[in-house]
Structure 1
């Protein structure tokens, strides 16, 4: 059975309409697409089909910012107020000491409280203005906590100020044009509709995939999630990272020193099992059986992008889909392709340790931030996690408003959270930082949620 046949079988198993799959190996890009780009039109996906990249966009944004560092216009460790004197949040220390490095590696801790910044060209300026009273989820630099939109929007605003152009023009002039990315754009209206994949969600395998109710993310997610691209263009960007900042045609995009800094400047991730144990500058750091692999991923409402970069093998592999997300799907595709190449393959999730004896009351509590609430309770000598779904999401997907899962301990701070729903993968959770006796934070899907009643103003070791 060919790789194409195996991917086709996996698409059917997971209810995903299509996938574009590509490999960059020793400087050569190969790829293919299978399935259909829209279930209502049944038009086939091709290697030129344009998919939404979601948070993979953050890697492009990081590259642009590091170009400014190369040019001496910006510094990773200079306070943000050097470039944006008007920048202010509720916490005085964060206001004074926040740097681009904090934003790039998601240790800024600022709540995504930017209100409604609109859809106009001044959106990033307005987002910075709107967070003047934004509180901290955790103290600056204390832990890793993913910022879906705000952190990279601040970086985009700095870039606009330093470059004198709007963000979308900066991306085009600094990356898309020099790299000849003819299928890559940062705005939905720029996408060729005859090439665009439609996003899909799935409520049941019997029903099959249905078109997403939200065609694109709002513009506020632009610098952190707004790019659309093809499998070839994604791997062209990967070429820059694999070849010390050089485009396939030899053009210098970013310095070799900046690429090394992107990969080597790391902070620990509290939950190391979803992707990997550390976060670098616009990249996730993975450990595949002792080999360091870099990842950059993204999801929108019904589309997903996954890229793995293996420097030791001079290889990158990417998968773009218009359904999911299912991490097990991507892991299986990566394993099939990389196994055939004889390189490292993704590790499986760890096994739970039933012999672990935990002090259960230290984990109990409500962990929440706006739009997300998790309740951890002890029942029958085991921990359970109950999460509240967004009411509109629950109604559309036909799910209850509250879902409860058992937490299976892997270590005193790490847990597996299996689901009885065949459409959901096992998730991973970290509950950690016991400096106040009870845990202060819950980390899942890269996001941090403080326990209600815990202090977030006193920095402590992670």
Structure 2
């Protein structure tokens, strides 16, 4: 695939994959290539354009990490100091662990406490302080620094750190220290700013399975902004950020945004991602170092019905950003994103795992039981040498539309199982950490302890 037919390819792929609307931006060879297709909202029919604003979800985490690294450069933050040095109100259910968690632990998803805490603490400027108080009930799953478990809550704490040391709310710090120096013009931090642009709505599967419908909820709580709840960007703004990283911290107009040392630190492997099919690589400081060959790095993101794919291929100097608003996004990735990664950026993108044609049964005894997270629990039962995994939503997950559901998993590799049927365009994979013949944790991107 070449970028010469980017518009045509995008139009064909979103039609084939049932994606309401999408926009893509690619920096290659000193040129910005952009395309947009479909609609931003199936109810209104407003067309998607290259400068439309989409929620970028967890891609925001790298921006929050950059704000922290600026503070490190100024001598205001020590990555290996306890978080409480900078955020005195940081508490957890485990007091000893709370005193040990460092800034580096938060940046690398290794603080060890429950990470999926999305309690809405209001729209006021005190929302992050109120959120910090909620963490007093956050359970410790593993000791700080022991293992990687994706932790949204940790980045909200980093947002509080930035606010405390800058003397301004996280949103203002992001605008002053990143958006403005980078020259970003199509960015929103509040709903009242988003309506000034062509803003995308999220779309979710229709209850009857007939296609996509506009999601009833548009924005996550403001207190989750530093982790990915509020930032809206056009794809070209993500490319702008990526070009700054490629240039060693310098924006396109010559403004220094980060030091070269900070950029190197963010891209230095800190934690090995658990051996998990379809994931892999390492975590840097905020960045996912993808293990796609040739040193690619980036971060994806998702909110309710909106998704972002963003990566940088330094060897060829390619920066890629895609925003989409529903439908078969994994299929969109397979048909368009991965094709560009291979053909334009020269990356070796791993194929998504699929179930074996004739899965052999295994002894399931080590894996059976209940595994609990803050949003939902998973009940694992034997299914004749395979596994039936039932998702049991907690109150907040139910509020967000999650329902009780049982999925059949078959063996994929040692201690790893893959779903027989696709969900959201892909076969989900779960892995187990086994000690003394018994699973103590289930890993699906998060580490869930046995109940």
Report if TM-score (shorter chain) is over 0.5.
Answer: yes
Cα deviation, residue 436, structure 1: 4.6
Partner residue of 1:33 out of 19, 31, 36: 36
5+ residue gaps, structure 1: 453-462
Contact map agreement 1:417 1:427 (CA 8 A) in 2:
yes
Mapping of residues 405-424 of structure 1, within 5 Å: 405-419=407-421, 423-424=424-425
Correspondence for 1:458 = none
The TM-score, its normalising length taken from structure 2, stands at: 0.91
Contact map agreement 2:17 2:332 (CA 8 A) in 1:
yes
Partner residue of 1:275 out of 273, 279, 282: 279
Contact map agreement 2:53 2:197 (CA 8 A) in 1:
no
1 CA distance for matches of 2:146 and 2:436?
Answer: 15
Correspondence for 2:156 = 153
2 CA distance for matches of 1:12 and 1:393?
Answer: 31
SS in 2 for 1:410: strand
Contact map agreement 1:382 1:406 (CA 8 A) in 2:
yes
1:108 and 2:111 correspond: yes
Correspondence for 1:448 = 447
Tell which deviates more after alignment, 24-33 or 209-218.
24-33
Would the alpha carbon gap of residues 31 and 276 (structure 1) be closer, same or farther in structure 2, given more than 3 Å must change? farther
Correspondence for 1:366 = 370
Mapping of residues 165-180 of structure 1, within 5 Å: 165-180=168-183
Contact map agreement 1:292 1:310 (CA 8 A) in 2:
yes
Contact map agreement 1:53 1:228 (CA 8 A) in 2:
yes
Residues 153-196 of structure 1: CA distance to partner in whole angstroms, max 9, x if unpaired?
11111111111111111011100111111111222222234411
Correspondence for 2:45 = 42
Correspondence for 1:457 = none
Would the alpha carbon gap of residues 396 and 255 (structure 1) be closer, same or farther in structure 2, given more than 3 Å must change? closer
Cα deviation, residue 424, structure 1: 3.6
Residues 174-219 of structure 1: CA distance to partner in whole angstroms, max 9, x if unpaired?
0011111111122222223441111111237973321110011111
1:212 and 2:212 correspond: no
The TM-score, its normalising length taken from structure 1, stands at: 0.89
1:196 and 2:199 correspond: yes
1 CA distance for matches of 2:99 and 2:330?
Answer: 38
Correspondence for 2:439 = 439
Contact map agreement 2:14 2:20 (CA 8 A) in 1:
yes
Tell which deviates more after alignment, 252-261 or 368-377.
368-377
Correspondence for 1:16 = 19
Correspondence for 1:455 = none
2 CA distance for matches of 1:55 and 1:321?
Answer: 14
Tell which deviates more after alignment, 115-124 or 54-63.
115-124
1:51 and 2:54 correspond: yes
Contact map agreement 1:109 1:140 (CA 8 A) in 2:
yes
Correspondence for 1:429 = 430
2 CA distance for matches of 1:427 and 1:143?
Answer: 21
2 CA distance for matches of 1:392 and 1:141?
Answer: 28
Would the alpha carbon gap of residues 428 and 299 (structure 1) be closer, same or farther in structure 2, given more than 3 Å must change? same
Contact map agreement 2:310 2:321 (CA 8 A) in 1:
yes
Partner residue of 1:77 out of 80, 94, 104: 80
Contact map agreement 2:108 2:283 (CA 8 A) in 1:
yes
Would the alpha carbon gap of residues 329 and 166 (structure 1) be closer, same or farther in structure 2, given more than 3 Å must change? same
Cα deviation, residue 135, structure 1: 2.1
- Count of residues in correspondence between the two structures: 445
5+ residue gaps, structure 2: none
2 CA distance for matches of 1:122 and 1:87?
Answer: 15
1:135 and 2:139 correspond: yes
Would the alpha carbon gap of residues 45 and 355 (structure 1) be closer, same or farther in structure 2, given more than 3 Å must change? closer
User: Please, what is the CA RMSD of the aligned residues?
Assistant: 2.6
Residues 316-370 of structure 1: CA distance to partner in whole angstroms, max 9, x if unpaired?
2111011146323223211232344261142102455668774421111111123
Cα deviation, residue 450, structure 1: 0.8
Residues 116-161 of structure 1: CA distance to partner in whole angstroms, max 9, x if unpaired?
522210111222233234321222122111122x211111111111
Correspondence for 1:376 = 380
